[in-house]
Every structure is written in C-alpha cells, then in structure tokens.
Amino acid sequence: MSSLCAIFMSCLGWCLLNLKLAHKVLLLVTIPIVFMIGFVAILADLQQKAEHAVRVERHWRDINSECNVLMNDFLRAGMVLYTYKLTGEELMLQRFDKLVESIPEKLRSIKLMLRDSPNKAVAIAEIEQASNEALRLMTKARTKMGYNFTGDDSKADQRVLVVTAGMVNHLSDFIKQMKETEHVDPHLEERARNMISQWLIGGVALSIVLAVILAVTFNRNTTKRLLVIVENTLRLSKRKALHDRQSGDDEIAHLDHVFHDMAESLEEAAKRKAELLAIVSHDLRAPLTSVQGALTLLSEGVMGELSPRASKTVALAENNTRALITLINDLLDIEKAESGNIVIVPRKVVLEELFERARDAVVMMADQNNIVIDIEDTDIVFTADPDRLAQVLINLVSNSIKFSPPDSTITLSGVVQNGNLRLSVKDQGRGVPAEFRDKIFERYQQVKSEDGMRGKGTGLGLSICKSFVEAHGGTIGVDSEEGKGSDFWMLIPLTPPPKS
C-alpha cells in the first residue's frame, strides 16, 4: 500500500511539475471527482446487490412461512377432525371445513412464489400430490363421521393419519432442503447494512487521505516553488545569490527563469553602472578638480591681472565647475546610499563646532546673497559621525540660502528631546507646500520644476541628507508655512550606532 502511495505521489508530482497551472487546477479538481464517482458507483452496486440479497432472503422467508402455515393447517385439520370424533361438536366440523378450504389456496400461493425456481417443481408436485391425497382422505373421513357419528373405522383413521403425517414430512423435508440449497441467512440484511457502512467509512477515510496527498503534493510542487521565487525577490533586494533555477515546464518554472534572467540583467547593469561611476569618480572628477583649481588661481590673479570681462567669465566657469563637481559628488553619495555602503564612524562631537564647520563651508555663498547664518549657543556634546552630519548641515544650509530672500537670517540650533538630539536649520524663505513636505526628501524631487532649470539644485541634496541621517538611526523632516520660512530638522539618537 505504501509503495502504491509513493508511486501515485511521484506520478502526481511529475504531472504538477510539467503541466500548466490551468491543467494542474483541472487535475486537482478532476481526481477527487473521479474518485467520488467511482466510490458512489461502488456504493450503488453494493446497495443494489444488498437489496437483491435482502429481497431473495425475504422471498424465501415468505415461502418458508407459507410452508409452515400449510403444515400447521394440515396438523390442525387432523386434530380438529379427531376432536370432532371424540366430542361430536358441530363447531369442530365447521373449523375443519374452513381449514380444508384454505389449504388449496395456500398451496397455490406457494407454487406461485416458486414459479421462478424450476428445480423445486418436483418437490412441489410431490407436496401437491400428498396434499390432495390427504385432503381426499380427510374429506372422506369427515363425510363418514357426519353420517355415522358413532361409527368406528380404525383403518380409515389410521390411513388419514399416515397420509397427513406424510404430508407434514414432505413439507418439513422441503423446508429443510430449501434452507440448505438457497442458503437463507436470517442476518443477511444486517450484514448488508454493516458492509455498506464499512465501505462508506472506508471511502471517507480514503477521501481524506487523497485530499492530504493532493494538498501535500500541490504544496511541494506549487506553493513551495512560489515561495522560492518570493525568497529570490528578497535575496535580489539584498544583493544575495539566488537559488538555482527551478526545473519543470509550467508557468512557475518560466517565471523563475525570467526572474533569473532579469537578475542577471540587473547584475550586468550594476556592473556597467559601477564602471560608469568609476569613470566619473576617477576620470572625470579629478580633471574637473584640477580645472577648478586653475580657475581659482586665475580669479585670484595668481596668473596675472585679468580684465573685468575675463574675470567675469572665469568666475562663471568656476561656479559651473564647482556645481558640476557637487553634482558628481551627489551622484556618488546616492550610489553609496543605494548600495548600503555608507560608512558611519561614530566619535565625540561638539555640536557648536559642528555648526561652525557647516557655516564656514557656505559663508561665501551666504555673503553673496546678504544672508546671515546665526548659531544659537549650545554646550551639547554627543557621539556621531561628524563628517556625515556636517555634510547634512551643509546641504540643508546651502539649500536654505538658495531659497531665502536677501537680508534674511538662517538659524542653526540644537536641543535634547526624549533621548534624541534635535538639530534644526530654520530659514525665512518661501516655505514648502504641505503636499511636498515628504516628497522633497526623495531623489530628483523639487517644489517647482523651474528650480532645477534655474540652477537652484538637482533634487539630490535632501535625498542624501535623508540617507546619512537614517544611517545614524535617525529621522529627518520639515515644518513649514508658505511665505514664512521652513524649519528643516533631524532627530539623531544620543546612543551611537555601531560602525558600519
């Protein structure tokens, strides 16, 4: 039985592995239906056989009952006749007459019930002959008794008894022969019910086993394989090696192959991207830095005094070069954030020095726009990566300078709140609309599309800030009111994150 189950499961597994999903579903629905149809057919056949057997048993039981009644009538007729001879009561004759009248009818009833049993014809003929002879003798004896009540015919009486006894013996032998040849079982109906019940219980048990087998096989060949694809998606997002390609010719196998092909394409694209970033980082940023240095020397007059027109052109070229280098640096930082390669090295940080470092980096830009950068007094000392936080503050302050009006103030402050350090860069600019307060921290998102066209940013700075803050385990956001400025804030845990 176990070997048959193993063969069935292996065949079913092969079908589920190579059939299309629609065919699998059809197969999973068809198998139980076919099983149930076969089971119902078997039950119907058992029911039909059981009913036939019960009918046969009841038929022979009825014949047996009629034979017993006929035999009993003969005995009663003889006893009634003998009683009449002893007592002379007319009531006995009436009873005798009724019994004699009913005996032929019962005999005809037995012959009718045995019309489909030709092998019983000889026995019935003998019984009928004996019955007729017994009836003739008893009727004759009754007639004599009616005319001569006191008469005494011992030989006639003896003959009646012998014939009646013979008739009874014929019926007894017939009943015995019928039981032996027809195998009449009085418990047949009960056994038939028990057999059907056993088949019904067995069919239900087999249905449950079949359902379990189908569920397990479907789970192994469909659900489990789908889970492999789901796990591959997680592995792909974490840049881990995928599971081997799945075998089979169904949609799941095709989907898995397409997913592997896509992963290979993404891996190839990542290699090309890494090569491009390497080119940008080494072959483009270094020459641009040299060009910027040369332009700076020219603008400072190291190479000689420049005419006003030349100075203006050099300053424009220097600004454009600086912007291009900033863009390259932003692209490299974004790549680090996407690849999870942001390195956080926590160490002791004096907040006031961190603010001054950020202000010094953008002070020339602020002076050009007549903007004051104010640092609130603070004595907070905490643990974090000062370089990453300084870059965040520089991006936030420079962003505020770009969108603040002349003669305005940008304020840097810090305060401890609920185990976190809240750093704030507050300006008096145009503000950020409510619908953009979350979007501006995503890549290439700006409040107005023309901001990028006017050179006010690439839409990468705030995204970089978010990556660096989250690398510290913190959060970043903005509180703003249009026309009244913005407050860019970040919450940095005072408990330092591990080195990563």
CATH assignment of the domain containing 323: 1.10.287
Furthest CA-CA distance within the chain: 180
Asked, for residue 321, whether it belongs to a domain, the answer is yes
Domain span holding position 483: 344-493
Asked, for residue 239, whether it belongs to a domain, the answer is no
CATH number of the domain bearing residue 80: 1.20.120
Asked, for residue 147, whether it belongs to a domain, the answer is yes
One domain, residues 316 and 364: no
> Which one of 192, 214, 248 terminates a domain?
192
* 3-state helix, strand and coil shares in percent for the chain, rounded to the nearest 5: 70, 10, 20
Cβ atoms of 369 and 401 within 8 Å: the answer is yes
Cβ atoms of 437 and 480 within 8 Å: the answer is yes
CATH number of the domain bearing residue 426: 3.30.565.10
Q: What's residue 232's pLDDT?
A: 85
Q: What angle, rounded to 10 degrees, do the helices at 21-87 and 154-182 form?
A: 170
Q: pLDDT confidence of 237, banded at 50, 70, 90?
A: confident
One domain, residues 433 and 316: no
Asked, for residue 242, whether it belongs to a domain, the answer is no
How many domains, the chain? Answer: 3
One domain, residues 329 and 413: no
Q: What's residue 450's pLDDT?
A: 46
Q: pLDDT confidence of 446, banded at 50, 70, 90?
A: low
One domain, residues 93 and 61: yes
Q: Please, how many CA atoms are within 13 Å of residue 93, restricted to the half-sphere of its CB?
A: 15
Asked, for residue 112, whether it belongs to a domain, the answer is yes
Residue type present at position 298:
L
One domain, residues 451 and 482: yes
> Which one of 315, 341, 367 terminates a domain?
341
Q: What is the pTM of this model?
A: 0.46
Distance CA 255, CA 226 (A): 9
Mean pLDDT of 180-198: 66
One domain, residues 22 and 104: yes
One domain, residues 302 and 166: no
One domain, residues 278 and 180: no
User: In which region does residue 468 sit, left (phi positive, over 0), alpha (psi from -120 to 50) or beta (all else)?
Assistant: alpha
Mean pLDDT of 314-337: 69
Asked, for residue 230, whether it belongs to a domain, the answer is no
Phi, psi for 112 (deg, rounded to 5) = -65, -40
Entry field: residues in the chain: 500
Q: What's residue 151's pLDDT?
A: 47
Q: What's residue 86's pLDDT?
A: 78
Listed in sequence order, the residues at least 6 apart from 444 whose beta carbon sits closer than 8 Å to its beta carbon are 458, 459, 460, 463
Distance CA 281, CA 273 (A): 12
Q: Which long-range contacts (CB under 8 A, 24 or more apart) does 356-365 make?
A: 357/386, 357/390, 357/393, 358/390, 358/393, 358/394, 358/397, 358/412, 359/397, 359/412, 361/390, 361/394, 362/394, 362/397, 362/398, 362/401, 365/398, 365/401
Distance CA 276, CA 281 (A): 8
Distance CA 279, CA 271 (A): 12
One domain, residues 315 and 419: no
One domain, residues 337 and 350: no
Asked, for residue 247, whether it belongs to a domain, the answer is no
Residue with tokens 């009531």: 91
Asked, for residue 237, whether it belongs to a domain, the answer is no
Q: What's residue 395's pLDDT?
A: 87
One domain, residues 335 and 350: no
Could you tell me the CA-to-CA distances from 195 to 43, 60, 184, 189 in Å, in that order?
A: 10, 22, 18, 10
Distance CA 306, CA 217 (A): 84
Q: Is the pLDDT at 91 greater than 60, yes or no?
A: yes
> Which one of 165, 192, 219 terminates a domain?
192
Mean pLDDT of 158-184: 66
What is the rounded average pLDDT for all residues in the chain?
76
One domain, residues 21 and 98: yes
Q: Is the pLDDT at 422 greater than 90, yes or no?
A: yes
Q: Is the pLDDT at 259 greater than 70, yes or no?
A: yes
